Chain A
């Protein structure tokens, strides 16, 4: 393992920002894994740190394929993490909306450029992704449909679902999208939590990435058997909105199979405790996202169900 500084940036008042990467093996650029790009992505950083441990072991045991190089970048934006901010500490811009970056541009464009120049040329790219809204996910893998990456490759993660998303205009400046433009087959792995550590979901994400590496001939590793992944289009998922506001109580678990009309959650008046709404699913399927904050506004997407 080689620990290297991939990009540095001077700050007027803090120690220099040094983005650290861990390289394993040598030769053909096979896989790059990126964790936290936002200051609240603690779970994403944790999964990467676990990958560093797993890859150290595989490398020591000689179980990485010949002519293979793997890069792991656990945390791009620790400046924000250390002060409890989600986006860039100074101007609140999102590094994951600045790709491919610009070396003569604004600060976060320069960070994106600096890191992207080190992430290019890999055959596969995996980003540990998060969702902007408070909630928990069934671990799954997602890819953007740019026409470059074959969705069937998602099966190699052995997660229950692989979701194909049609890019929207604001997706075109993300790492995942630009990786594909520069011919890296890119995937986003969702490991349930964001600003807290979910060890079980992290285990599942680490095993999925190791399984992917085995199936793609990058490493030989023993992992628990995975799922036969169901590949679905994002249009096949149903977003369920809250029709009322108040205190939110979830009545179903992530991964549950639900039937049309089942109660998924309840909303109570925060002042007098009256039940103001039951959230019922209009479709049958598997719950793969659930809102998990005690306060809920009306028109909040509180569940997503794979039909």
Chain B
């Protein structure tokens, strides 16, 4: 059943409407909300939403609970290939929890939060941006780690990144919901403006497994992988110092040693290498730049160091 979460008339003969689809079966009222499309250039979740919805439709007897699928929190952004909210140039994930008496965007965010609150679990799927490619991972802030890490492990991701909570992240959907008692996991995977079928399939298996663990899925599930948890690890950031074109020599997921040559920044005009990019530490490359044009400061890679005491 398709339901309207928020609808606001736009200037000329159209409304901005946020929709969800509720799939319900059995007597169990456990509710999982699958949310995506906050950033208009992140599309991995679109295919995941389709996969989950179509599979459950075809196997509805195995569902014992409620799954709400919100494919597009920012439908105008997806429709116009705009990361933020068109017209406002705002990052929607910096406007939560919103307010009923505020601007249009704040009103919408407030309605979304009201609708999602009370879910037993919420999975908020992002896919990096057009600049970086990420391995499937769950990101959790330190204060919520104790509660959320056990659920994150169920999602069949490769990595769970527990990071310090910056105050600016208090404006995110996940922070808002978690602070209101609705457990919310943020997934990052793939790259902007693409669909990586392999990752969507991986997370699809994770969502079914999570549903099984929540007692709302009676069907078979595939075994899930044990993710690396960032506790005890350090993350090394490789930023460009020069401007030019980044050409990687290492591949996504490679294990590298500190000082390894992982890429070059080159100048197409002078045909010179303007920066030899080296690994800042030992470890696995879990983020790699996808978009070649770089400025000083552009993020090129993130490297997950081996657990302390387990360095090779």
Contacts and interface: CB of A to CB of B under 8 A. Distances in A.
Interface in A240-255: 241, 244-247
Interface stretch (B18-26, B120-128, B153-161, B239-247): B239-247
Contacts of A92: 83-84, 89
A247 B11 CA distance: 7
Nearest to B129: A91
A122 B165 CA distance: 30
Contacts of B278: none
Interface in A263-278: 270-271
Contacts of A105: 239, 297
Given A11-B295, A109-B297, A169-B168, A296 B12 contact: no
A226 to B, nearest CB: 31
Of A132, A169, A172, A241, the most chain B CB neighbours within 10 A belong to A169
A9 interface: yes
Contacts of B271: none
B297 to A, nearest CB: 4
B171 interface: yes
Contacts of A170: 94, 168, 171
Nearest to A86: B89
A105 B171 CA distance: 21
A239 B106 CA distance: 13
B200 interface: no
A90 B295 CA distance: 9
A170 to B, nearest CB: 5
Interface string A3-17: 000000111110000
Nearest to A168: B171
Contacts, number: 102
Contacts of B167: 169, 172
A110 B242 CA distance: 12
A104 interface: yes
Contacts of B8: 245, 297-299
A132 B298 CA distance: 26
B104 interface: yes
Interface string B214-244: 0000000000000000000000010100111
A104 B299 CA distance: 10
A9 B295 contact: yes
A301 B100 CA distance: 11
B286 to A, nearest CB: 17
Given A90-B293, A107-B298, A271-B13, A12 B104 contact: no
A106 B297 CA distance: 4
A133 interface: yes
A301 B297 contact: no
Interface string A266-307: 000011000000000000000000000001111111000000
A244 B169 CA distance: 32
Interface in A155-198: 168-170, 172-173
Interface size class of B (residues with CB under 8 A): 35 or more
Given A10-B243, A297-B9, A132 B296 contact: no
B299 A106 contact: yes
Nearest to B131: A91
B58 interface: no
B79 to A, nearest CB: 16
Contacts of B309: none
A130 to B, nearest CB: 12
Contacts of B298: 90, 106-107
Contacts of B13: 270-271
Contacts of B90: 132
B293 A12 contact: yes
Contact of B89 (A12, A87, A173, A247): A87
B4 interface: no
A112 to B, nearest CB: 10
Nearest to B108: A299
A297 B102 contact: no
A239 B168 contact: no
B76 to A, nearest CB: 11
B1 interface: no
A297 B104 contact: yes
Interface string B100-111: 011110011000
Contacts of A50: none
22 contacts: A10-B296, A11-B243, A11-B295, A12-B294, A90-B293, A92-B89, A108-B297, A110-B297, A132-B89, A133-B103, A169-B169, A169-B171, A170-B168, A172-B168, A239-B101, A245-B10, A245-B11, A245-B12, A271-B13, A295-B12, A298-B9, A298-B10
Given A87-B89, A239-B101, A297-B104, 13 more contacts: A11-B295, A12-B244, A12-B295, A90-B298, A132-B89, A133-B103, A173-B168, A239-B102, A241-B107, A245-B8, A246-B12, A297-B11, A301-B102
